[in-house]
Amino acid sequence: MLQLPVYLDNNSTTQCDPRVVTAMLPYFSEQYGNAASTTHPFGWIAKEAVEKAREQLARLINADITEIIFTSGATESDNLGLKGVFENYASKGNHIITVATEHKAVLDTCKHIEKLGGEITYLNIKEDGLIDVDELEKNIKRSTILISVMYGNNETGVIQSIKKISGVAKQHDVLFFCDAAQAVGKIKVDVIDDGIDILAFTAHKIYGPKGIGALYVRRKNPRVKLISQMDGGGHEKNIRSGTLNVPAIVGFGKACEICMKEMTTEANALKHLRDKLEHNLLKLEEVHINGNKEFRLPHVSNLSFKNISANSLMMQLNRKIAVSSGSACTSALPEPSYVLKAMHLPHELANASLRFGLGRFTTEEQINFAIKEISETVTKLRNENRTFNSV
């Protein structure tokens, strides 16, 4: 029997994979040592578990284990990467280039850097959600120290031209930072092949636990140096102090190991379900896909349902289908998505848009149910609106 509500909000967070939970359990009550305790077996075992996980993370993105720094999540990783570069490379310059559609963890950090005297250029995007790489290059100047562009957008799934962007950055001797929280584990992300210098990702987007993330920091060609944003015991190579969350780190490692093995098959299955969902919902009148249809993550769909309010639609669906109207960090705001507004989507369509995030545990039965319920609800709301407007 189909269990309700059907969860289609996997961009905000994912269910913890049972295999991940199983891997974590011993480190709560059996092997509960502190990884920084070097004088007894409890600490040794914990440290060994952390280093195994570090290797699992590194393997997933083709990094060296010495280049992985554990954090509390992608938000902290974004803060550490951006602020750490700004402070360390102050003698070279104070200019950072980013994009208007970045996650709030990047945008708000950039606003903080502006208050510290930094200069931020916020690039606009084209109507399909992609940036103009030529425009990016035109904005580079002598004082530019960092370019920050996310891999795949959390609202539309649009994938930027990462290799082209990194190529431009390298040509101008500028570091390239990438928030890849939505992309890592869903599609191939290779920091060497992609030319990424600093990369943020997190466990809870890939069926791992919440509260644990990582920052990749390149150690050669070029060697990137960051100023720590948290003082303490000098953990994580003096870049991020704080007692390591061993159970969560173990879970993060296991989640990456599973993604490494199953990512390609999973991506194909999710694309099939996503395309089925879209194909059937597009049969309704005035339904639009937002964002580039070719360059996007396989599990994401952002649709506008003209002539109805997204909030009204969600209220009708919320006991049956869990979806959102944008980022989980901004979904409580009454305003339309800033991402869709930046794509020049008319206010009416931006205000009528839903984000669907499919995941590992999404089934064909759930998609069939979603198609039926959404189609019926959209039709019902439109009929009600027509009746109201005719009175």
pLDDT classification of 245: cutoffs 50, 70, 90: very high
The pLDDT, as a whole number, for residue 384 is 85
Burial class of residue 37 (count of CB atoms within 10 Å of its CB; 0-12, 13-18, 19+) = middle
* pLDDT per residue as tens digits for the range 313-348: 999 998 999 999 864 554 455 578 999 999 999 999
Which domains does the chain show, CATH number per domain? 6-14+263-382 (3.90.1150.10), 18-257 (3.40.640.10)
Mean pLDDT of the chain: 95
For residues 191 and 25, what is the distance between their CA atoms, to the nearest angstrom? 31
pTM of the model: 0.95
The phi, psi pair for 359, rounded to 5°, reads -150, 180
pLDDT classification of 368: cutoffs 50, 70, 90: very high
Active site residue 110: no
Q: Which of 16, 110, 259, 329 is catalytic?
A: 329
For residues 237 and 67, what is the distance between their CA atoms, to the nearest angstrom? 10
The pLDDT, as a whole number, for residue 332 is 52
